[in-house]
Amino acid sequence: MDMKILCVGDVVGSPGRLVLRETIEEVVPKRGIDCVIVNAENIAGGSGLTAQLYEKLLRYGVDLITLGDHIYRRRDIIPVLETSDRVVRPANYPPGAPGREYAVCETKSGVKVAVVSLMGRLYMKPPSSCAFAAADRVLAKIPQDVKIVVVDMHAEVTSEKVALGWHLDGRVSAMFGTHTHVPTADERVLPKGTAYVTDLGMTGPYDSVLGRDKDRVLSAMRTGVPARFDVAEHDIRLCGVVVTVETTTGRATAIERIRIDSKGDATAT
């Protein structure tokens, strides 16, 4: 039996929440999506995740949540990270960091899906340990009855993501990159059955600079004078991939890059 997993790239602010909600309400049922995995580290005003927005994501229908370098930006998310079985921290953070190294959800059809988050080491803060070693360690912990495993590599440098994809080929169902907010066109199923894409892209306003008001970013870049980078509001899109996985083996059989435009410029509720 095959199942479909929707993996959604960095959701930015209320515009990103709007198109995510629209997609889950309308597109997910139409396309027969069984599991929704979302990177939500920019969802609260463009930086971090709050406890309130975590609950809102679950109400939308999100199954599993990954984060990244802004994971602890909102302090009220720390108790959620310590108790929730639906959200993960990067597994190569220090051992005492709040949060789980992997999470498992069971879909309505009874299929278990695990998610793992990792962080790149090049040009990223805070510093983290080796993602390759952390992946090996965490994969050994995941129960053997969980055949489907998805990995989010939150990294700046594409070579780290590509290398990790080859390292994990045949060992996980899918690996996607996040963080750069720019979707890449290299989606494919690797030879041993791992669906791969270097970056899912951003879910949010594209009339912007990576989700932020373009005029303010341009002014800061041109003058060197710091400015508040507010979240932009227009040209809202969801970007990500749909991965088809064979449930008994955990091998991916297809990956499709998707873009869904919002119905309008509005604020999510």
Each residue's pLDDT tens digit, 14-37? 999 999 999 999 999 999 999 999
CA 66 from chain centre, in angstroms, equals 5
What's the pLDDT at 269?
44
Amino acid at 221: M
Domain ranges of the chain: 2-203+238-259
Does the pLDDT of residue 265 top 90, yes or no?
A: no
- For 180-239, what is each residue's pLDDT tens digit? 999 999 999 999 999 999 999 999 999 999 999 999 999 999 999 988 899 999 999 999
116, pLDDT greater than 80: yes
pLDDT of residue 263: 81
Residue with tokens 């988050």: 117
Cβ(9)–Cβ(199) under 8 Å? yes
pLDDT score recorded for residue 126:
83
Supply the CATH classification number for the domain 2-203+238-259: 3.60.21.10
Strand partners, 260: 238
Catalytic residues: 70
Helix (H) or strand (E) holding 229: none
| Average pLDDT value over all residues in the chain | 95
| Cα separation, 249 vs 162, whole angstroms | 23
Side chain identity at residue 48, one-letter code: G
268 pLDDT higher than 50: no
189 Cβ neighbours under 8 A, 6+ residues apart: 195, 196, 252, 253, 254, 255
91-106 confidence digits (pLDDT tens): 999 989 999 999 999 9
Backbone phi, psi, residue 131, to 5°: -70, -30
What percent of the chain is helix, strand and coil (3-state, nearest 5)? 25, 30, 45
Residue 207, class by beta-carbon neighbours within 10 Å (0-12 exposed, 13-18 middle, 19+ buried)? middle
Bridge partners for 175 per DSSP: 151, 196
pTM of the entire structure? 0.95
Residue 126, preceding peptide bond in cis (omega within 30° of 0): yes
**Angstrom distance (rounded) from CA 58 to CA 245:** 23
Helix ranges (H only) for the chain are: 13-22, 28-31, 51-60, 78-83, 131-139, 158-168, 214-223
Rounded to whole angstroms, the Cα distance separating 152 from 68 reads 9
